[in-house]
Structure 1
Amino acid sequence: MASTSISSTLGAGSGVDFQALASQLVDAQFATKLKNLTNSNTKLTAQITGISQLKSGITAFSNSLTTLVKGGSLATQPTSSNTALLKTSALPGAKLNGFSASVEVRQLAAAQSAATGALPSKTAPIGTGMLTLTLGTATVADGAMTDFTAGSGSPINIAITATNNSLTGIAAAINARNAGVTASIVSDADGSRLVLKGSTGAAQAFTLNATENVGFEGLSALNVGVGATGTTIGSVAKDAIVAVDGVAVKRSTNSIKDLIDGVQLDLVGASVGTTVTLGNSSPAANITQSVTDFVDTYNQLLTVIKQETDSKTGTLSADPAAKALTRQLAQLTITRLVPGTSTDGPTTLADIGIATNRDGTLSVNATKLSAVLAKDPAAVEALFADGTGASGNGLAGALSAISANATNPKYGLGVSADNYSKAQDKIAEQQEKITEQEDKLRTRLSTQFAQTDARIAAYKATQDYMKQQVDAWNASKG
């Protein structure tokens, strides 16, 4: 016989829908608790969303300003009168107001290059033994090295065995040593050549000498140096020669950072007798625009913060980290951004015309900003110097410190987000427990109602039997 569940038979004897009654009683007992938990969970979700908005807002604000400052557009930049010969850029921390110089590029730094004769295949074995690479200075004439003086560094030995004795293997073996000489293979209709190139600078010339294994000769065809006949010197190792304000100096590269304080010189071409004039360009226009952009972005972020922390409608009205962020931002205009400067020059945003309004928003006094830029451009520029990580190290540094404090996982918005998430986890646990309690109560009530329904059914059966007996007795008397 097929079994019948308790819940499906409830009410069969009494006619009462005990199943619906059990569900209604269970729902009524836990409805208030579930409603409160749902409301709390909804509030926590809104708080987590609010925290996420504040974190992303202050982080994006700080990162954007840092990127702008590091880009150099808010600092005085060096200029070159002839970028076809010489390009310039400012080094970190450079102070170039009033900077000027004259530079003559007499010679570019060059690297030695050498190429072997064409070989039929880049994968065919050449020979085995040892290749010795030596750096130093060289004299070259008509593609041949006529003299070489080894430098102070130790020669580099490169073992060539049966596993790497092709052009491809030899090039890989040379490159693996990272000795300042790179190897590549150039192929054309005539065959494949091993091409070697060193670093720039007269002291970076090189020789390559083979010590061959008897019976496996062939590596000497790759020799580079005095008397080598199988290779050709394509370019000669040279130092750059520049004259700064008439003083000639040599450097091993075409990118020079140690001749003029705060300026990197990138040599592009050489022209003896041509003087390149270096000067500087003011970032005043960029600073003015950036100040306006900063204020606009600050006010947009402040609007979001005020909405989230509103005492009546804000989801974060009682959040300590959100309140701390509000206080820190409010102090930004009066924070001393440049430590150690004289009190005569501007050291705060307020000093350059950025004012805090009664509602907490910022505004720019364009007239005051222009006047300060004209009077002390270097001091204004210092407020936007590249110095991130701590308050008192430029505006980017101050804002970065605020962002770091606000998002700190130990005491900032990160803690709030973590607390709200943990609270949601607890609510989920409580909801799960209530679901279990509901199931147990529903089962218990169903069992009790089934017993009641069975008793009622028994009473009805007895009643029907007695009625039948009475009816039968009355019929017999008639």
Structure 2
Amino acid sequence: MVDSIAKTLGAGSGIDIGSLVTSLVEAQYSVKSKQFENRAETLTSQISTVASLKSAMSGFSTALAGLVSGGSLATQVSSSNTGVVKATLIAGASVAGLNARIEVRSLTSGQSMATNAATPAGAHIGSGQIKVQFGSYAADENGIDTFIADATDLPAIDIAQTDGTLAGIAAKINGTAGLGLVASVVTDGTGERLVVKGPNGADKAFTLTATDDPADPGLAARINAATGTDGMARGSAAADARVAVDGIEFRRTSNTIQNLVPGVKLELQSVAPGTIVTLGTTAPTTALQQAVNDVIETFNELQKMVKAATDPATGPLARDPAAAELQRMLRNLTTTNLTGATDGSPASLASIGVVTNRDGSLSVDAGKLAKVLVANPAAVEKMFANGGTGASGKGLGAALAAISVRTTDRTYGLGASEARYSRAQTLLSDEQSRLADQQASTKTRLTQQFASMDSRVAAYRSTQAFLTQQVDAWNSGN
């Protein structure tokens, strides 16, 4: 209705009433509209800046936590002979003062069994049932190994006639849960052989006992312990790893051991009776030096963001208390006691050569840092250790995590600011919608008023034209 009226406005008066109405409405609401636009831009900038600061702070904390958990900043374990045993630090462990002597007397292995006689490829050998029993071998008085079964009750393996080839039997063994056996078929120039390998460890020796299906015999002759040229025979024996630590022998079922030397993972590489491998430690001086520089670089990037955000003249968060709190916490980071030490040893970033510049950024006194790393590397290492949670005394990672938690807090931190700005943005959007409705209503009202005026002007002009014609007619009659 309004649009159709607007198209005809001015027809009677000759005035561009459409433009006039638009100008009048804009003049009436322009100040308020501009205020809303400016406020919307401010809120958008505030929300975006808050999100950026939260992300940057969380990223800083997470990156350092990842670096610490990786173990590269902790004292490393060294082995005098990595060809016999490799030694590495278990993440999060401390090996200060480590000095151990390792002798590898044997490696762990699993028992293997194989069929004696070869079978033509794909040949059917029979069906029935195979029973597996785990245990260990012990030599009797004559030196003959005797199998001693344990009490474990294992599921039987049913071999149907359709499974009665070596490949079918291997598939059934591998597909039976709870056994831990690995079966395969090996082919050589004489045919196929079934090979079965058990788990590592002396107590994981095993036997296979087959019973025939009377209607399809032959399975037992191939599987049961060898008699003559038939059946299966043991290859390698099940054995434990035997490792002497400082002269005391221990047995393990894996060649990777994490519970012999505290904080150290041992990887046994080869058997070397009589060869003593010495374990020691190496301070991560280079890694710590690089870590300090990386922390300073990241800190400066974050500090630059915070400084811009809180700039009194141009910062979108100039009057935000949470942003000011973040700035204060970052400023105090260099003097925070990160180790809890009270004996005068280096405990803060400032004490190892981290300097706060006049603009709030940090720099490193490389000479002082180098001296501290030589004189007391353990103190610097402790600063980067994962000591738990807390703003002080638990390491730099914990201090940054505490700042990050405070920053993202939805009650007092930037999380609360973000929620507050978002609510304000929603309210502003509602006010803008109401203002738009008012503008539309005002435009409709003015358009209708001017349409009525234009109609009257048109009527007056029509009357004027009629009267003019009459006067002209009267004058011409004279």
TM range (shorter): 0.7 to 0.9
Does the aligned pair in 2 maintain the 1:66–1:388 contact within 8 Å? no
Does the aligned pair in 2 maintain the 1:164–1:170 contact within 8 Å? no
Structure 2 partner of 1:72:
71
Aligned with 1:5: secondary structure? helix
When residues 402 and 112 of structure 1 are mapped into structure 2, their CA distance, relative to the original with a 3 A threshold, is farther
Structure 2 partner of 1:11:
10
Structure 2 partner of 1:343:
343
CA distance in 2, matches of 1:211, 1:439: 94
Aligned with 2:259: secondary structure? strand
Does the aligned pair in 1 maintain the 2:384–2:397 contact within 8 Å? yes
The AA in structure 1 aligned to 2:243 is V
Q: 1:284 aligned to 2:285?
A: yes
Structure 1 partner of 2:20:
21
Percent identity of the aligned residues? 42
CA distance in 1, matches of 2:151, 2:456: 110
CA distance in 1, matches of 2:476, 2:126: 129
Shift of 1:32: 1.8
When residues 149 and 302 of structure 1 are mapped into structure 2, their CA distance, relative to the original with a 3 A threshold, is same
Does the aligned pair in 2 maintain the 1:62–1:396 contact within 8 Å? yes
Shift of 1:12: 1.1
The one-character-per-residue Cα deviations of 1:262-301 (angstroms, maximum 9, x if unpaired) are: 2111111112222222222121232223222222322222
The AA in structure 1 aligned to 2:198 is G
CA distance in 2, matches of 1:268, 1:473: 131
Q: What is the CA RMSD across the aligned residues, in angstroms?
A: 3.4
How is 1:219-368 mapped onto 2 (pairs within 5 angstroms)?
220=220, 223=223, 229-339=230-340, 341-368=341-368
Does the aligned pair in 2 maintain the 1:97–1:280 contact within 8 Å? yes
Structure 2 partner of 1:60:
59
How is 1:38-437 mapped onto 2 (pairs within 5 angstroms)?
38-115=37-114, 120-121=121-122, 127=127, 131-138=130-137, 147-157=146-156, 167=167, 171=171, 174-175=174-175, 177-183=177-183, 196-210=196-210, 215=215, 220=220, 223=223, 229-339=230-340, 341-391=341-391, 392-437=393-438
Shift of 1:45: 2.0
- Could you tell me which runs of 5 or more consecutive residues in structure 1 were left unpaired when the two chains were aligned: none
Greater shift, 438-447 or 176-185, is seen at 176-185
Shift of 1:254: 0.7
The AA in structure 1 aligned to 2:42 is K
Aligned with 1:242: secondary structure? strand
When residues 41 and 175 of structure 1 are mapped into structure 2, their CA distance, relative to the original with a 3 A threshold, is farther
When residues 453 and 285 of structure 1 are mapped into structure 2, their CA distance, relative to the original with a 3 A threshold, is same
The one-character-per-residue Cα deviations of 1:195-250 (angstroms, maximum 9, x if unpaired) are: 54332211122334445666466765784767795445443321111222222221
CA distance in 1, matches of 2:433, 2:224: 80
Greater shift, 185-194 or 203-212, is seen at 185-194
CA distance in 1, matches of 2:437, 2:173: 70
CA distance in 2, matches of 1:194, 1:320: 75
Aligned with 1:250: secondary structure? strand
Does the aligned pair in 2 maintain the 1:48–1:420 contact within 8 Å? yes
Aligned with 2:258: secondary structure? strand
Greater shift, 445-454 or 188-197, is seen at 188-197
CA distance in 2, matches of 1:369, 1:176: 60
The one-character-per-residue Cα deviations of 1:441-460 (angstroms, maximum 9, x if unpaired) are: 32332222222212211121
Shift of 1:357: 3.9
Shift of 1:396: 1.5
Does the aligned pair in 2 maintain the 1:186–1:192 contact within 8 Å? yes
When residues 437 and 198 of structure 1 are mapped into structure 2, their CA distance, relative to the original with a 3 A threshold, is farther
CA distance in 1, matches of 2:459, 2:222: 112
When residues 190 and 304 of structure 1 are mapped into structure 2, their CA distance, relative to the original with a 3 A threshold, is farther
- TM-score scaled by length of structure 2: 0.85
The AA in structure 2 aligned to 1:15 is G
Aligned with 2:260: secondary structure? strand
The one-character-per-residue Cα deviations of 1:393-438 (angstroms, maximum 9, x if unpaired) are: 2111221222222223454323323332333333333333333333
When residues 461 and 400 of structure 1 are mapped into structure 2, their CA distance, relative to the original with a 3 A threshold, is same
CA distance in 2, matches of 1:447, 1:188: 102
Aligned with 1:148: secondary structure? strand
CA distance in 1, matches of 2:95, 2:34: 67
- Could you tell me which runs of 5 or more consecutive residues in structure 2 were left unpaired when the two chains were aligned: none
The AA in structure 2 aligned to 1:346 is P
The AA in structure 2 aligned to 1:363 is S
Does the aligned pair in 2 maintain the 1:134–1:156 contact within 8 Å? no
Does the aligned pair in 1 maintain the 2:157–2:172 contact within 8 Å? no
The one-character-per-residue Cα deviations of 1:106-138 (angstroms, maximum 9, x if unpaired) are: 21111233456667459x997465x44332224
Shift of 1:472: 1.8
CA distance in 1, matches of 2:306, 2:150: 65
Shift of 1:14: 1.3
The AA in structure 1 aligned to 2:385 is A
Does the aligned pair in 1 maintain the 2:126–2:164 contact within 8 Å? yes
CA distance in 2, matches of 1:250, 1:150: 20
Shift of 1:79: 0.6
Shift of 1:308: 0.9
Does the aligned pair in 1 maintain the 2:70–2:91 contact within 8 Å? no
Greater shift, 42-51 or 369-378, is seen at 369-378
Does the aligned pair in 1 maintain the 2:114–2:195 contact within 8 Å? yes
CA distance in 1, matches of 2:189, 2:394: 62
Shift of 1:158: 5.0
Greater shift, 327-336 or 91-100, is seen at 91-100
CA distance in 1, matches of 2:73, 2:296: 16
CA distance in 2, matches of 1:112, 1:283: 42
Aligned with 1:438: secondary structure? helix
